[in-house]
């Protein structure tokens, strides 16, 4: 059974507690459940994580990279939060490991502040899902299951 990593960056632990107009009312636990259901549908194992620390995200990307090298990875869904717009380190990790990865944003970042329009992840992502709310997580896993 191949594994899907779903990685969530800074402040996404606050999902469902504030800014419901932007991010919706569902919590990160709801998102984890939605991802687990999508993985069951496709016969995939799930690793679901959130951290407010860039280094933790890097460590999980490296772990996913090791699984990828061993042919045991289905793909990665990464919502890097604000690190999307700042992190050369995440760019380097994804590029260096050759990870098959979908960049995900709950909100439509292009309809928001201009500092959210640039992404260090997009050039090294296979696809970008943005603006579909938390439903995007399930759709991203559906896409990975077809790779």
Measured CA to CA, the distance from residue 115 to residue 83 in angstroms comes to 12
Cβ closest to ligand CA2, residue 68 vs residue 105: 105
Cβ closest to ligand CA2, residue 67 vs residue 124: 124
Of 61, 73, 93, 106, the residue at the interface with ligand CA2 (CB under 6 A) is 106
Beta carbons within 10 angstroms of residue 70's beta carbon = 8
Query: Is 91 a catalytic site residue?
Result: no
Of 76, 109, 124, 125, the residue at the interface with ligand CA2 (CB under 6 A) is 109
The minimum distance between CB 11 and ligand CA2, in angstroms, equals: 4
Query: Is 68 a catalytic site residue?
Result: no
**Annotated active-site residue in 68, 83, 91, 105:** 105
Measured CA to CA, the distance from residue 140 to residue 142 in angstroms comes to 5
Beta carbons within 10 angstroms of residue 102's beta carbon = 25
Distance from the Cα of residue 77 to its chain's centroid:
3
* 44 Rama sector, left if φ>0, alpha if ψ -120 to 50, beta otherwise: beta
Of residues 116 through 135, those in contact with ligand CA2 by CB under 6 A are 116
Of residues 6 through 45, those in contact with ligand CA2 by CB under 6 A are 11-12, 14-15, 17-19, 23
* 124 Rama sector, left if φ>0, alpha if ψ -120 to 50, beta otherwise: alpha
Instruction: Give me the residues that bind ligand CA2 (CB under 6 A), please.
Output: 11-12, 14-15, 17-19, 23, 79, 81-82, 84, 105-107, 109, 116
* Active-site residue list: 23, 105
């Amino acid at each position: 059974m191949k594994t899907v990593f779903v990685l969530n960056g800074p402040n996404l632990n606050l999902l469902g507690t504030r800014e419901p107009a932007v991010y919706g009312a569902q919590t990160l636990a709801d998102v984890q459940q939605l991802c687990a259901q999508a993985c069951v549908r496709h016969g995939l194992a799930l690793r679901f994580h959130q951290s407010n620390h860039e280094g933790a995200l890097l460590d999980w990307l490296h772990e996913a990279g090791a699984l990828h090298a061993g042919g045991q990875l289905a793909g990665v869904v990464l919502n890097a939060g604000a690190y999307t717009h700042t992190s050369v380190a995440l760019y380097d990790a994804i590029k260096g490991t050759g990870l098959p990865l979908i960049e995900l944003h709950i909100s439509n970042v292009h309809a928001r502040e201009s500092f959210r329009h640039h992404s260090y992840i997009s050039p090294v992502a296979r696809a970008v899902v943005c603006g579909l709310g938390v439903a995007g997580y399930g759709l991203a896993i559906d896409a990975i299951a077809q790779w």
